A and B are shown apart, each in its own frame.
Chain A
């Protein structure tokens, strides 16, 4: 009986937390549209999210393209279709790997940093000070970060796509000796702009999700340094899991609108 009650409490707690998170996201979105629009803060956070994450995205993108090419060639050679390697890699990268891996990188680097920064501001009463000064802390601290995430994660995803093509091309043509013309022709023939669009649309949602979760956990942190640490860890864990769940939902929806379907 205790076990069932405990399980029930956990389930209720999960939905309560989810409800509060959605409410927090909705509130921050509503405030995005309300003047004054603090464009300098949005640009500042865009720089942090985008420029700051560029190096790890470039590195991840290149090696994802290269490694996936090696693995795909190994499989495709068995059925004599190694010329399809570019198409295979890029379809997987543009639809799934680029938005998901980019968002995971951003969750680790940016989401955690936002949770720590806002958590520290909460436990040192800086957020209370803002409220007393009649400044809405969600509008000042959260909205610009969420906008920056929703803009820069798609931009990083597009860069990931591009660098993954470079990685795949270098490995397939440069190292494994696949015919260059065949590699490019198959990509042009089989790949649709919608494949890239799907990834970009997903990245908009992931960017908003990662920054909202980071801000949410930090904004409601309590219990001093330990509480801030817990908020940081939880923000990365929750963001990472949510990315995969949301990816499933978005993929199901986006495939309905695919020109091929």
Chain B
């Protein structure tokens, strides 16, 4: 579904992505694992079309998005949903207004249809009773759930998660992992998760790609990551297991 081919990107002489190639098959959950500063967020911005590569291609359903015009990109992005690290909810809007935002902008639904769809999505993420709350009144985990409801409200073909468990306590981390698994099962969407949390990655991923210093150093099914022979992956895994 999404194919990244020999992607290069530099910022002010700093080579961030050094020939990244990656395949994200339809209906699967792909986790891109890496340390802070490894280029994960830059890679994800290329997948959504927020950044254009210096060289290389990003293909979505065989269409090269790096060659698309701005209006074509906007059209494509309607088929994507994204859950941000800090949820990025509009703090001047209630939960309902946040989730309804993409519907109001991109559909001709009546107000009744919008309210029904929003309630369905909020029920799906377990926040049906919090529709009238404002983001400031929600916990970190709840905000991520609202972020997911907003990301899936237009029934996207692919959902991106940017560091979904960063800064959360272990219980909330578990609940966010369950939320991702539940969303994948219910909606049958393709998911791309950017993370440095190995525990969550192993739990939610079908496949894991490890990004280190701008290159993919490991790409394998999630259950095989422990058998990786790559020294960096070994070190990464060992440091995590020592903490447990």
Contacts and interface: CB of A to CB of B under 8 A. Distances in A.
A132 B77 contact: yes
Interface stretch (A133-141, A196-204, A238-246): A133-141
Contact of A133 (B75, B86, B91, B105): B105
B63 to A, nearest CB: 16
A248 B217 CA distance: 61
Nearest to B105: A135
- Of the four ranges (under 10, 10 to 19, 20 to 34, 35 or more), the interface on chain B belongs to 20 to 34
B88 interface: yes
Interface in B58-90: 74-75, 77-78, 80, 82, 84-86, 88-90
A141 B74 CA distance: 17
Contacts of B74: 134, 136
B77 A133 contact: yes
B50 A125 contact: no
A126 B150 CA distance: 13
Given A132-B80, A133-B101, A135-B105, A125 B88 contact: yes
A180 interface: no
A251 interface: no
Among A125, A128, A132, A135, chain B packs the most CB atoms within 10 A around the CB of A132
Contacts of A135: 101-102, 105
A134 B78 contact: yes
A112 to B, nearest CB: 17
Contacts of A125: 84-86, 88
Contacts of A124: 86, 88, 91
Given A124-B88, A125-B86, A126-B88, A131 B50 contact: yes
B88 A129 contact: yes
Interface string A126-165: 1011011111100000000000000000000000000000
Contact of B90 (A126, A131, A132, A136): A126
Nearest to B78: A134
A133 B84 contact: no
B48 interface: yes
Top 9 closest A-B pairs, CB basis?
Answer: A129-B88, A125-B88, A134-B77, A134-B74, A132-B82, A134-B78, A125-B84, A133-B102, A135-B105
Interface of B: 48, 50, 74-75, 77-78, 80, 82, 84-86, 88-91, 101-102, 105-106, 150, 160
